[in-house]
Amino acid sequence: MEKANKTFEEQWHQALGHAEVTPPQQVWVAIDGQLANDQARDYKRLLIFYKWVAAACILLFVLGTVLFWQNGNSSLDSEIADAEIKSNSNSSNSNETIAQKSTGVIALDEDDNREEASLSLESDAKPTQVNNSIAAVPNPSSRGSVVVVESIPLKMEEMTIVSLHPKSASIPSTLEPWKATHLYGVARTWEEVEQDMASSPLWAGVSFSAGSFDPGYGESSGNDLILSDQIGFTSESAVPQQRTQSRPTYSAGQSVAGGLNVGKKITRRVVLSSGLHYSAFSTGSASSQLVSDELDNLYALTAETSDNNLESALSAGELSYEGELVQLTNEFQYLTIPLKAGYVLLDRKINITLNTGLAGNFRVDSRLVAEGEPGGLNNDFSTADSYERVYFNFLTSVEFGYLFKEHYQFLLEPNYNQALNDFTSSSNPNQAKPRNLGLSIGFRYNF
């Protein structure tokens, strides 16, 4: 029975297990349509997602704009009040001091035909007296009424008023047109950045600078590149006597610098800044003769008297020219502390500041570098003794800033530095005042 069953099942499996029946064409049409719908639904979902993203962006933009204008209005109110009070104080005969953050209530005395202004102050404010004879507020439509001037944040040291001038009551007609608060909807971008800058005089930032570096050797030393064949060297000629004439001349090279900056706006237009920078300079390469001693040690023939190895070989007097040239470059590393004073030409979203000042450059390292170092040179390439530990330079720059967020500023600053004293020491046959021209890129955070 079991055997028969199995046979029965196997027969059915063989008959139908691998059967194929071609389905009607409409099945694929339906599947195709459904897949297309799925695809469209996916696109729709994606579209909805992007719509929400766009809506969120618009909402953020609108919210940001509203906040921007709200802040602008409140700060402008303060500015206008400031301007008003200053103008009042100019026209008054005596001054009274008003405490910061007061709520002023101007009571108009109808009987006396002149308005008595009194200021009700908060508990921490000084009591205020107002010169009644001057504090007239001609406001016919509001005679006998009370005009409330709300929440004008005033700084005590800046605020001295004698009285409320009639002009102050007849706002906004007495205001300059560009300060008129009633012109809602009129952009007052001229004030916004000024307020930000005025309220954030301290800043810190980072910068990176790159440019050219001219060591200025040629100007003060007057030496030239003199090759051995020009002065009649032969392989057996006296190298020690002639070596100083074969010193290489280095042309201008590159400079890079980077560091931290801090600054403070001490007045509306004047900025003081300093910082700490790491600077690396390199001169252009110059050719120098290769010489060898009796032990086949190779030396580059430099003018460095601080090169003890070369000096020893020269004193041994058994040097011979190899007939090859090697390219040498001077490299310097300095820590620089600049001290700059800047005059703000433009202080808006984009600002321009003219800077000038002095910088102290503290030598970290200086050395000669042989390009490729053919065969390995036995020179002592440190040139520390040939250069001063410190040199000072005059600096000037034009700083272009862009306030891309509330506190963040992007800076671009072409700069020029000229050494005021020689950066070479007395042991260096060259006397040189380097200069460099560069472009600095930086970011700044305004506190």
Partner 1 sequence: MEIDEKELIKGCIEGDRLSQEMLYKRFSGQMYAISLRYTKATQEAEDVLQESFIKVFRQIKNYKKEAPLVFWIKRIVINTALNAQRSKLYLYPMVDVDDLKEKAGEQKEVSDYTMDELMSMVKDLPASSQIIFNLYAIEGYKHHEIAEMLEISVGTSKSQYSRAKFLLRERMKEKSKHYGKG
Which residues lie near partner 1 (CB under 8 A)?
4-5, 8-9, 11-24, 26-28, 30-32, 34-35, 38-39
| Nearest distance, CB of residue 41 and partner 1, angstroms | 12
Q: Which is nearer to partner 1, 39 or 145 (CB)?
A: 39
DSSP 23: P
Which are the contacts of 32, defined by CB distance < 8 A and separation ≥ 6? none
Q: Measured from the CB atom, is 22 or 93 closer to partner 1?
A: 22
Question: What angle (nearest 5°) sits at the alpha carbon of residue 309, between those of residues 379 and 279?
Answer: 45
Report, in Å, the least distance between residue 62 CB and partner 1: 38
Print the SS3 string covering 104-168.
EEEECCCCCCCCEEEEECCCCCCCCCCCCCCCCCCCHHHCCCEEEEEEECCCCCCCEECCCCHHH
For partner 1, the closer of residues 41 and 86 by Cβ is 41
CB of 32 to partner 1, least distance (A): 7
Sign of CA dihedral 156, 161, 162, 164: negative
Cis peptide before 172 (omega within 30 of 0): yes
Residue 38 CB, nearest distance to partner 1 (Å)? Answer: 7
Q: Which residue number, 15 or 146, has a Cβ lying nearer to partner 1? A: 15
Going by their DSSP bridges, the two strands 146-152 and 102-107 should be labelled as antiparallel
CB of 409 to partner 1, least distance (A): 47
Two tokens, residue 420: 């005021």
Backbone angles phi, psi at 4, to 5 degrees: -65, -40
In the complex with partner 1, which residue's Cβ is closer, 18 or 405?
A: 18
- Residue closer to partner 1 by CB (options 31, 346) is 31
Rounded least distance, CB 47 to partner 1, Å: 17
Nearest distance in Å: CB 187, partner 1: 49
| Residue (32 or 219) nearer to partner 1, CB | 32
> Which amino acid is it at 388?
E
Give SS3 for 37. Answer: helix
**Locus of tokens 């099942």:** 9
The answer to whether 391 touches 362, Cβ cutoff 8 Å, is no
CB atoms within 10 A of CB 408: 13
How many residues does this entry show for the chain? 447
Minimum CB distance to partner 1, residue 1 (Å): 10
Q: 44 or 389, CB closer to partner 1?
A: 44
- Using DSSP's 3-state secondary structure scheme, residue 216 falls into coil
Minimum distance from CB of 52 to partner 1 (Å)? 24
Question: How remote is the C-alpha of 181 from its chain's centroid?
Answer: 34
| CB closer to partner 1 out of 35 and 231 | 35
Token digits of residue 89: 């104080």
